[in-house]
Structures are given as C-alpha cells and as structure tokens.
Amino acid sequence: MKIFLNGYMGSGKSLIGKMLSDSMGYPYVDMDDQIEIMEGTSIHEIFQKKGELYFRKLENDVLKDILASNSDMIISLGGGTPCYGNNFELIKADPENITVYLKASVEQLTQRLFLEKVHRPVISHLDTKEQLEEFIRKHLFERAYYYNQSKIIVDVDHATPTMILEKIKAKLD
C-alpha cells in the first residue's frame, strides 16, 4: 500500500508523513527531497534557474519512479503535484493507493506560510499577508478539484499533529 499525502504547501504533509511512517513502519518519501537529491540542488534553485515547467517534469518523473516501486510507503506530494499533467490520474490508477488530503483553511495557511515564505520559491515574492492570502485563496480554488478527489480528507485546522495522525489512521481501518 502506498499512502499519498496531498494538500497545499504548509498543510503539514512532511511532518504528518514522517509521523505516519514512524507509526506504521513504512518508509517515508518526500517528493521535494527526492527531486533535490536527483538534481543536486534546492527546489528554490531549480525554480530560479530552470523554471516551473522543468520542475513539474522532474516531479512527474519522480512520481512515476515511486509508483513503479513494489514497496509499501508513505509519500508527501508537493502542493501542486496532483494538479499538473496526469499525476493524480497516475496515482488513482492503482486501487491500492490511498490519497489523503490535509485540508487547511486559507487563514491557517496564511498564518503558517507568512513566517516561512522566504523558504518557499512560489510565494517568496509576496510582501504582505494580504497578498499571500489572495495568492493562497486563488490557488486553493484552482486546486480544490484535485485535492477533493482524495479517498480521505482530514481537516487540519486547530488540530495537533497527533490528532491529525489519529484521524488518518482511524480512516485507514
């Protein structure tokens, strides 16, 4: 079984993925980390030097490698991964794959991401909380179609990581 965590950046995919991995004993894969290892540079550098289209191609290649593996694992997708190309269709093609949407509100995401926007290439250019909130609101509207196709949807607002983990595990049973 492969469990794919998806949701907007800042929704907790990496933290919850590691916790779920520890809890279930499955290996953990972070898509962004895999891309950085493959390219030998940061996501930020890839975006700056080669652009988003190049990044999305790498993302699709890494996803195909993960899907080709016979191993059980927990995978944190990038925030945009399910929304580009045929990525979400590839994931859903295998009925054994489980998709989990970590659903966070625009307000919660704005609070989290404003503090770390310098480390996020897609939003690093936004100067105010209002600009960031508008950007997130637009993206969530565009991506909701994909995110909401997940087999499991977990509201993460005002929930501790442990509570989120327990919600996911309860829905896996």
The answer to the question of whether 18 is labelled as a binding residue is no
CB-count burial class (<10 Å; 0-12, 13-18, 19+) for 42:
middle
The answer to the question of whether 10 is labelled as a binding residue is yes
The answer to the question of whether 71 is labelled as a binding residue is no
The answer to the question of whether 25 is labelled as a binding residue is no
The answer to the question of whether 56 is labelled as a binding residue is yes
The answer to the question of whether 33 is labelled as a binding residue is no
Q: How far apart are CA 42 and CA 24, in angstroms?
A: 29
The answer to the question of whether 78 is labelled as a binding residue is no
Q: How many helices, marked H, and strands, marked E, lie in the chain?
A: 7, 5
SS3 4: strand
The answer to the question of whether 21 is labelled as a binding residue is no
Q: How far apart are CA 104 and CA 106, in angstroms?
A: 7
The answer to the question of whether 32 is labelled as a binding residue is yes
The answer to the question of whether 157 is labelled as a binding residue is no
The answer to the question of whether 40 is labelled as a binding residue is no
Annotated binding site for substrate: 32, 56, 79, 143
Annotated binding site for Mg(2+): 14
Annotated binding site: 10-15, 32, 56, 79, 120, 143
Annotated binding site for ATP: 10-15, 120
